Amino acid sequence: MIALERRPQPSQAWSAAAPLVAVLLTMIAGGLLFAALGKDPVEAIKTIFWDPLFGRTAGFSRPQLLVKAGPLILIAVGLAMGFRAGIWNIGAEGQYIVGALCGAAVGLAFYPMEARWLIFPLMVLGGAAGGLLWAMIPGLLKVRFGTNEILVSLMLVYVAEQLLASMALGALRNPEGMGFPGSRNLAQYASATSWIDRSSGMHWGVVAAFVAVIVGYVILSQHLLGFRIRLTGESPRAARFSGVNPARLVLICLGFSGALAGLAGLFEVTGPSGQISIDFNAGYGFTAIIVAFLGRLHPVGILFAGLLMALTYVGGEIAQLTLGLPGAAIQLFQGMLLFFLLAVDVLTHFRVRFGRREVKP
Amino acid sequence: MSAAPLLALRGITKAYPGVVANDHVALTIGAGEIHALLGENGAGKSTLVKMIYGLVAPDAGSMTLSGAPYAPAEPRAARASGVAMVFQHFSLFDALDVAENIALGMEAPPPMRELAAQIREVSETYGLPLDPGRLVGDLSAGERQRVEIVRCLLQDPRLLIMDEPTSVLTPQEVSILFDTLRQLRADGRSILYISHKLEEIRALCDTATILRLGKVVGTCDPKTASAREMAEMMVGGTLHVPEKAPPGDGPVLLSISGLSAPAPHAFGTALKDISLEVRQGEVVGIGGVAGNGQDELLLALSGEMRVRPGMIRMDGRDVGTLGPDGRRALGLQTAPEERMGHAAAPDMTLTENALLSGHARKNLMNRGFLRWGKARLFAEEIIKAFDVRTPGPGNAARSLSGGNLQKFVIGREILQNPRVFVVNQPTWGVDASAAAAIRQALLDLAAKGAAVIVISQDLDELMEVSDRFAALNEGRLSPPRPAQGLTVDQIGLMLGGAHDMEVAHVHG
Amino acid sequence: MDLSTINPTLLVASLMVASTPILLAAIGELVVERAGVLNLGVEGMMITGAVCGFIVAVTTGSPLLGFLGAALGGAALSMLFALLTQVLLSNQVATGLALTLFGLGLSALLGQGYIGVKSPTLPKVDLGPLTDLPFVGRVIFGHDLVVYLALALVAGVWAMLRFTRIGLILRAVGENHDAAHALGYHVVRIRFAAIAFGGACAGLGGAYLSLVRVPQWTEGMTAGAGWIALAIVVFASWRPWRLLLGAWLFGGVTVLQLNLQAAGAKVPIEILSMSPYLATIAVLVIMSAGRAPGSLGRPFHASS
């Protein structure tokens, strides 16, 4: 008989080891999946995890890692704050879109004026404000009417997608684009581009992600706000006793994660993506949820988890090209990773006992 | 006692990680006997009855029921053999009605209409009035217990297990309950009565088995054995009785006037026009049956529930609109009843839990940034001053026993030198020596010039520490009276324990 | 815009059809939540059901077998959730999200070879002259079997919760799992069953989209229907009949906006397309939720 027994206190060792074990299990299960699809599992795993870093085409794929990891980390750090407090913003995808729209709108309003010192900072503010305001909708509704923030933030993703389509076809459409949907290219607009060094994949979003990791780490471990966030997640009643204002915390957490998601969108639209288009959003807002959990809701963990997830993206694309591995298989692979993590996580709080324990006489 | 005992346990052993809850326990209950199982919190009483009721399987040992081997795999099997149990808590469903709750405890309940009739019949026979159609969440603690008892009785049990049944009752309700239990004994049923209250056991039981640290330390006839003798068996030593300084006549520190507030949640209690003044150096005890507004009063005083201006004043200053931090800054500290998850966060370390209420007053932060070193020292100070048994402040609150965590929580507030301290159920579920230490700490605090309010359901405790006594009943507070010289009957009337007395006496 | 092209009879009739997938998913989730479990993976189970149903229907040529396959597919996926949350005690919110992400990936992978394929369609139930009755005939009669199945499930779940012992036990487990455990009920077993039922219903709802509503397989075709089903359960305060109201309300908005689009309304298409989601938010705000099951979303561990 196998039984779970609650540990007197959470195991630090398992908490740290769980993501590694989960990655290992995912590689095994993923290998089986790839084998079932008729691909050589070892080759596929190597293509995904090794080739982007050290393979023949690593020169092209390493910059891509930064490009993909930047928004994932930026969004996930914000989400992790809320998740820690039991505030579930799962509409980061929508905030990402709205942030990009607002930031791009600011930039396009100045086009073709050149004044980088003014325009780019204003766009950054616009992006953060857009994401923040979009996240305030579920926040204020929750605080005011007790509406479930999970459902509202998610519904707003679909609304934001429609808004994106409408903007790409309407207000923000490139007047010189010969009728094609999509805005002007902001990456090529010197006052608006977020690229720092295109060849190495460095753009301001990557910088922002690193700053977010540091700020997030300091807040969570050293500041009263972080303590209150953790306390609220562990035990909401104890948090109120301690003096936490739950409504204010909801707004702070949603606002913070929304602003970061909005920033991620802004840096994406002014860099790697370059323009507002109908299919601008690539699911970063949802993948960031996996990243946040995989990183144990800890900013430093998220840094590594974001890089790992970027690896599966980039490696997955290589596998798609060289092995003909379907893109959906990669998506499934990422889902599996989260499942295994959640499963292994049980060992942080419980220990497994086999059979009946002997009792000393 | 009859020749073939109803239930006999031999060598029952059950271990949990780090603790042997029951160590070769032997116990015999005769037919038509009320058998007391006596022991402190943590002595292993609950584990033992869970094994008899089939909730937990023993690691070793055997049980026989009427001479036949008895090893229930689950409560269903126990009920089928005629063993029923009235739980201390955790076994009713607030959102379901009385009949549904009772049906859930039966193997093959009749159709609802018939069941309702049966409920009425049984409750009349045993003086336990109940309305089958009412939502359980709306019932008082005494009524909820009746639901449990009726649920058991409908299955015609041979053995009824009662786990601390009087902890939620007024003295009057207790005497009604005892009448019912004696009537059951007269019907030939046996009762296993679990308690740590000696006077009750002397009044009711035929035999007593005393457990300490998982072992049987003695069996006696409670009618002849002295209370002192039993208490010493139970505790394993002599008890420290708190010393009390005479109350001073200091200035009023806390004044509550016309405090009213709506119930904070669906099954909560609204506070109605509560007025009270507490002076420096004084301990005011507030008694009452669970669910009469104790939690809500504490929430209103701690600042978790804000109230309208003018209702709560400290030194004449309005504090009712302040949050917990603002009140702590002025020296108003509180300790809620529920340790795990309210006063302390179970999965967080003791250092973090020290920070939980001490961050402002103990200067544990600097412009919002935490001083972890100082927080740790504060946790260590609490552990040392209040004799909290733990390997260190890095351990999770969950890993502490109830008594140790309670000492930590009380210590955390007291070491912040409160001017006014409000505590709810300071010794609930705490072993006797820790309880004595906590009571002494409360008295010392008052002696040093603080105003103390102790909310408790334990009347003995209140009489021991209070200078004045008041009672909460349905969210109203009676005018306080000097505690000295109050009789049990007077207290009972203050608690509003006269509910249903007439009905009960007709049959009792 | 020409409003006269909108036929009210057809509108109400297609409302019944439009609300069916959400109704199916929601009635399943209602049972799950009444058992005290919050499964946010409805969207994932729905889309898995959609693809499983589509594949089985295309392969066997039988839409009914397709629905069966969808129910099994949804239930199978839900067992993953049950294993994680009930046995391994993982966080229900996180696991539900994972289930949705996983289901979206799985369905995309399974459905690769089926994009653009046509599936056999479900015949309408022929009720003879009843169908010819004015208005009522078109609105109530003359739908396919699954529309009636959905309505029957609502009635069945209502009766089960209200009148049967298993319903009482289910409610008890959802209200207070510690008490139910103390009385000897198998909390985990009951929840596994409820979660499987929820998965099967979500699968059916998904298949209704891919086999009847659209009828085609496209990636991500549920487009938030599973989330809307979750919202409707909250809106309904966990009561089956109010669920019907919510599903119709949503179906109505969907059908109306599609009709307005077809009629060439002057409102931008994007605004019309976002209206079902905005309506869902509005409904969540206006209807203050009733009392949720007491143990909803809390992990259960039978310790000591």
Planar angle of CA B480, B482, B488, nearest 5 degrees: 90
Mean pLDDT of chain C: 89
Answer whether A9 sits within 8 Å of B359, measured CB to CB. no
User: Residue C303 has what pLDDT?
Assistant: 60
pLDDT over threshold 90, residue C267: no
User: Which amino acid makes up residue A128?
Assistant: A
Count of CB atoms situated within 10 Å of the CB of A255: 20
What are the angstrom distances between the C-alpha of B106 and each of B70, B92, C184?
20, 13, 11
Q: Classify C41 as helix, strand or coil.
A: coil
Beta strand pairing status for B159-163 and B190-195? parallel
Q: Which chain B residues contact residue C176 at CB under 8 A?
A: 90, 92-94
| Strand locations in chain C (E) | none
When CB atoms are compared, the residue of A155, A327, A332 closest to C227 is A155
User: Residue B1 has what pLDDT?
Assistant: 43
Q: Give the chains touching A; criterion: ≥3 Cβ pairs < 8 Å.
A: B, C
- The tens digit of pLDDT for each residue in A100-145 reads 999 999 999 998 888 889 999 999 999 999 999 999 999 999 999 9
Is residue A222 within 8 Å of residue B370, measured between CB atoms? Answer: yes
C248-257 average pLDDT score: 88
Confidence of residue B81 (pLDDT cuts 50, 70, 90): very high
Burial call C75-96: b when 16+ CB within 10 Å, e when fewer: bbbbebbbbbbbebbbbbbbbb
DSSP state, B239? P
Is residue A273 within 8 Å of residue A168, measured between CB atoms? Answer: no
User: Which amino acid makes up residue A324?
Assistant: G
User: Residue B479 has which token pair?
Assistant: 């005018």
| Strand locations in A151-262 (E) | 195-197, 202-203
Confidence of residue B445 (pLDDT cuts 50, 70, 90): very high
Answer whether C294 sits within 8 Å of B95, measured CB to CB. yes
Q: Which of C270, C283, C303 to mutate to test the interface with A (most CBs of A within 10 A)?
A: C270
A221-225 average pLDDT score: 95
Confidence of residue B38 (pLDDT cuts 50, 70, 90): confident
Burial call A331-345: b when 16+ CB within 10 Å, e when fewer: bbbbbbbbbbbbbbb
In this structure, what are the phi and psi dihedrals at residue A6, rounded to the nearest 5 degrees?
A: -70, 130
Handedness of CA A141, A147, A153, A159 (dihedral sign): negative
pLDDT over threshold 90, residue B20: no
Of chain A, the percentage scoring pLDDT greater than 90 comes to 60
Confidence of residue B489 (pLDDT cuts 50, 70, 90): confident
Confidence of residue A1 (pLDDT cuts 50, 70, 90): low
In this structure, what are the phi and psi dihedrals at residue B205, rounded to the nearest 5 degrees?
A: -95, 155
Query: Which uninterrupted H or E stretch holds B255?
Result: strand B252-261
Count of CB atoms situated within 10 Å of the CB of C15: 21
Count of CB atoms situated within 10 Å of the CB of A185: 17
Planar angle of CA A84, A86, A88, nearest 5 degrees: 100
Q: Which residue has the higher pLDDT, B376 or B265?
A: B376
User: Residue C10 has what pLDDT?
Assistant: 78
Confidence of residue A251 (pLDDT cuts 50, 70, 90): very high
User: Residue B500 has what pLDDT?
Assistant: 35
Q: What is the CA radius of gyration of chain A?
A: 22
Q: Give the DSSP per-residue string, B138-197.
A: GS-HHHHHHHHHHHHHTT--SEEEEESGGGG--HHHHHHHHHHHHHHHHTT-EEEEEES-
Beta strand pairing status for B190-195 and B207-212? unpaired
When CB atoms are compared, the residue of C88, C109, C271 closest to A328 is C109
A189-217 average pLDDT score: 92
Q: What is the CA radius of gyration of chain B?
A: 24
Cβ-defined contacts of A243-246 (< 8 Å, 24+): A243/B303, A243/B323, A243/B324, A243/B325, A243/B328, A245/B323
In this structure, what are the phi and psi dihedrals at residue B218, rounded to the nearest 5 degrees?
A: 170, 160
Residue of C252, C230, C233, C250 lying closest to C242 (CA atoms): C233
- The tens digit of pLDDT for each residue in B447-487 reads 999 999 999 988 888 888 999 999 998 899 999 999 888 87
Is residue B222 within 8 Å of residue B197, measured between CB atoms? Answer: no
Confidence of residue C204 (pLDDT cuts 50, 70, 90): very high
Of chain A, the percentage scoring pLDDT greater than 70 comes to 97
User: Residue B498 has what pLDDT?
Assistant: 39
User: Residue B458 has what pLDDT?
Assistant: 82
Angstrom distance (rounded) from CA C142 to CA C131? 6
Q: Is this complex's ipTM strictly greater than 0.90?
A: no
Is residue A90 within 8 Å of residue A80, measured between CB atoms? Answer: no
Answer whether B104 sits within 8 Å of C293, measured CB to CB. no
C44-62 average pLDDT score: 95
pLDDT over threshold 50, residue B14: yes
User: Residue B224 has what pLDDT?
Assistant: 87
> Sheet of B68-69: strands edge to edge?
B19-29, B7-16, B60-65, B68-69
pLDDT over threshold 60, residue B507: no
User: Residue B416 has what pLDDT?
Assistant: 96
Residue of A347, A15, A293, A353 lying closest to C89 (CA atoms): A347
Answer whether C172 sits within 8 Å of B96, measured CB to CB. yes
B494-508 average pLDDT score: 45
Please enumerate in sequence order all residues whose Cβ is within 8 A of that of B504, keeping only pairs 6 or more positions apart, or say none: B127, B129, B176, B179
- The tens digit of pLDDT for each residue in B166-182 reads 877 777 788 888 998 99
Q: Give the chains touching C; criterion: ≥3 Cβ pairs < 8 Å.
A: A, B
Q: Which chain C residues contact residue B94 at CB under 8 A?
A: 175-176, 294
Collect all residues from C whose CB is shorter than 8 A from any CB in A: 40, 80, 84, 88-91, 93-95, 97-98, 101-106, 108-109, 112, 219, 223-224, 227-228, 230-231, 234, 268, 270-271, 273-274, 277-278, 280-281, 284-285, 288-289, 301, 303
Nearest CA in chain C to A332: C105
Mean pLDDT of chain A: 90
Q: Is A101 exposed, middle or buried (0-12, 13-18, 19+ CB in 10 A)?
A: buried
Answer whether C98 sits within 8 Å of A286, measured CB to CB. no
β-pair partners for B277: B255
- The tens digit of pLDDT for each residue in B111-150 reads 989 999 999 998 888 888 889 999 998 887 778 888 988 8
Angstrom distance (rounded) from CA B135 to CA A52? 63
Q: Which chain A residues contact residue B325 at CB under 8 A?
A: 243
β-pair partners for B69: B64
Burial call A229-254: b when 16+ CB within 10 Å, e when fewer: bbbbbbbbbbbbbbbbebeebbbbbb
How many residues in total does chain C contain? 304
Q: Give the DSSP per-residue string, C15-31.
A: HHHHHHHHHHHHHHHHH
User: Residue C16 has which token pair?
Assistant: 């019944």
Please enumerate in sequence order all residues whose Cβ is within 8 A of that of B89, keeping only pairs 6 or more positions apart, or say none: none
Q: Classify A34 as helix, strand or coil.
A: helix
C19-42 average pLDDT score: 96
Mean pLDDT of chain B: 87
C268-282 average pLDDT score: 89
- The tens digit of pLDDT for each residue in B320-362 reads 999 999 999 999 999 999 998 999 999 999 999 999 999 988 8
Burial call B167-186: b when 16+ CB within 10 Å, e when fewer: bbbbebbbbbbbbbbeebbe
Cβ-defined contacts of B200-204 (< 8 Å, 24+): B200/B166, B200/B174, B201/B36, B201/B38, B201/B230, B202/B227, B203/B178, B204/B34, B204/B36, B204/B178
User: Residue C166 has which token pair?
Assistant: 């298993």
Angstrom distance (rounded) from CA B86 to CA B97? 18
User: Residue B385 has which token pair?
Assistant: 């001053």
A14-21 average pLDDT score: 87
Query: Which uninterrupted H or E stretch holds B10?
Result: strand B7-16
C214-220 average pLDDT score: 89
DSSP state, A356? P
Angstrom distance (rounded) from CA B178 to CA B161? 14
- The tens digit of pLDDT for each residue in A234-245 reads 999 999 999 999
Of chain C, the percentage scoring pLDDT greater than 90 comes to 54
pLDDT over threshold 70, residue B506: no
Angstrom distance (rounded) from CA C246 to CA C251? 8
Of chain B, the percentage scoring pLDDT greater than 90 comes to 54
In this structure, what are the phi and psi dihedrals at residue B275, rounded to the nearest 5 degrees?
A: -130, 140
Answer whether A242 sits within 8 Å of B368, measured CB to CB. no
What are the angstrom distances between the C-alpha of A311 and each of A40, A60, A87, A196, A202?
19, 13, 28, 22, 16
Least trusted range by pLDDT, from A285-299, B7-21, B480-494, C194-208: B480-494
User: Residue A355 has what pLDDT?
Assistant: 56
Angstrom distance (rounded) from CA C90 to CA B335? 32
- Helical H runs in B210-365? 227-235, 294-302, 324-329, 350-358
User: Residue C304 has what pLDDT?
Assistant: 41
User: Residue C284 has what pLDDT?
Assistant: 87
Of chain B, the percentage scoring pLDDT greater than 70 comes to 94
Residue of C166, C227, C179 lying closest to C34 (CA atoms): C166
Interchain contact B359–A (C-beta under 8 A): yes
Cα-based torsion angle of the residue sequence A87, A89, A90, A94 in order, rounded to the nearest 10 degrees: 170
User: Residue C159 has what pLDDT?
Assistant: 96
β-pair partners for B472: B477
C198-226 average pLDDT score: 92
Size of interface A-C (CB pairs under 8 A): 133
Q: Which chain A residues contact residue B413 at CB under 8 A?
A: none
pLDDT over threshold 60, residue C119: yes
User: Residue A93 has what pLDDT?
Assistant: 96
